[in-house]
Amino acid sequence: MNLELSEEQAAVRQLASDFVAREIAPHVIAWDRAEEVDRSLVKKLGEVGFLGLTVDEEYGGSGGDHLAYCLVTEELGRGDSSVRGIVSVSLGLVAKTIAARGSEEQKRRWLPGLTSGELVGCFGLTEPGTGSDAGQLATRAVRDGGDYVINGTKTFITNGTWADVVLLFARSTDAPGHKGVSAFLVPTGTPGLTRRTIHGKLGLRGQATAELVLEDVRVPASAMLAAEGKGFSVAMAALAKGRMSVAAGCVGIARAALDAAVKYAGEREQFGRTIAHHQLVQELISDIAVDVDAARLLTWRVADLIDRGQPFAVESSKAKLFASEAAVRAANNALQVFGGYGYIDEYPAGKLLRDARVMTLYEGTSQIQKLVIGRALTGVSAF
């Protein structure tokens, strides 16, 4: 594995860093308090090519490899996890899945809009009754002539109220468990689809997280993505890459925690000298630094495996598990360095901790990642 960035990779990282400084950093506190990122940011993310990374230029994408995608994701995560998540879902889970598994017609219909930021995508897997055990989902798609009629409820859907299209998972045959699940591309303007914003989140407050209710939503059979009954494998493939993106975002959180803690420790004086002079403060800071490096190396390994066409799903679970727990630790350590000021939202540590916490929950909780890793090591599924 080559740890040296190519010129192109270094340039895209710099572009992302400049974008964060210009378009994101000045607004982070306001967006968090208002519980809404300025939606015009999506177009700007599209204009600089961040919503088209790894997608073919033929479909409006900006190309690049998965390491470049991780570099941009880390920078966005350093700036604001709400923004990072918007990209990780619209590009990472939706556009990349359409690019990998969609028909030619689906690619031409959706990819140019999603990669330019004209359109936003969301990923509709979780339901009120099925989270970790997603293969048991209850949303139903019933064939009616040339159409499917879909009924069900999805919850905790990132980008839910902003999205123009849902990559939706529904049970379309009577095959047991996940074998009966198919994937559909459902325009959110379709009659019968209603959306409700979920308020009161601990973190990622700038993101539009929503419940989607589908009542007799009719879509043509051509809206099915991949073959009937292959929906669960589509979802799992999307999440395997998605976990790398979450991990990269977590590296960004840990780096923001490190930068903030080092700066504050050099400024704040107690006991007649800056707190950077106190050994126990240095311990907090060095623990964050080790977490940043370890999480980043695990994440880059996943990108390297994907770019070389090697199996990566278990490594992606390892990276996501470690990086998400590391981001929580790092943000918590940074908060400690800030003392009481860490508890006030004018200072960054509190938001970093709130935003980090969900990373251990979504795209598979830490327990689910351990079951994926344990299954690979023992050959025994403990699900």
Site residues, ligand FAD (CB under 6 A): 89, 122-126, 131-132, 156-158, 201, 204, 209, 358, 361-363, 365, 367-368, 383
- In sequence order, the 6+-apart residues with CB closer than 8 A to the CB of 283 are none
Ramachandran angles phi, psi of 69, nearest 5° = -60, -40
> Which amino acid is it at 298?
L
If the CB atoms of residues 125 and 276 are measured against ligand FAD, the closer one turns out to be: 125
Ramachandran angles phi, psi of 92, nearest 5° = -65, -45
If the CB atoms of residues 20 and 204 are measured against ligand FAD, the closer one turns out to be: 204
If the CB atoms of residues 64 and 242 are measured against ligand FAD, the closer one turns out to be: 242
Q: Least distance from C-beta 258 to ligand FAD, angstroms?
A: 24
If the CB atoms of residues 330 and 368 are measured against ligand FAD, the closer one turns out to be: 368
* Active-site annotation holds for 363: yes
Nearest partner of 110 among 59, 43, 38, 56, judged by Cα = 59
Ranges assigned E (strand) in the chain: 121-124, 140-144, 147-158, 165-171, 181-187, 193-197, 209-220, 224-225, 269-270, 273-274
List 23, 127, 325, 363, catalytic entry: 363
Q: Least distance from C-beta 24 to ligand FAD, angstroms?
A: 19
3 state DSSP class of 203: coil
Q: What is the DSSP secondary structure assignment for residue 55, as one 8-state letter?
A: S
Q: Least distance from C-beta 344 to ligand FAD, angstroms?
A: 23
> Distance (Å, rounded) from C-alpha 98 to C-alpha 322?
28
Q: Least distance from C-beta 59 to ligand FAD, angstroms?
A: 22
Whose CB is nearest to ligand FAD?
Answer: 131
Q: Least distance from C-beta 357 to ligand FAD, angstroms?
A: 9
Question: Residue 213 to residues 99, 119, 140, 205: CA-CA distances in angstroms?
Answer: 27, 21, 12, 22
> Which amino acid is it at 63?
G
If the CB atoms of residues 64 and 124 are measured against ligand FAD, the closer one turns out to be: 124
Question: Residue 224 to residues 67, 72, 219: CA-CA distances in angstroms?
Answer: 30, 31, 9
User: Any idea which residues carry the catalytic annotation?
Assistant: 363
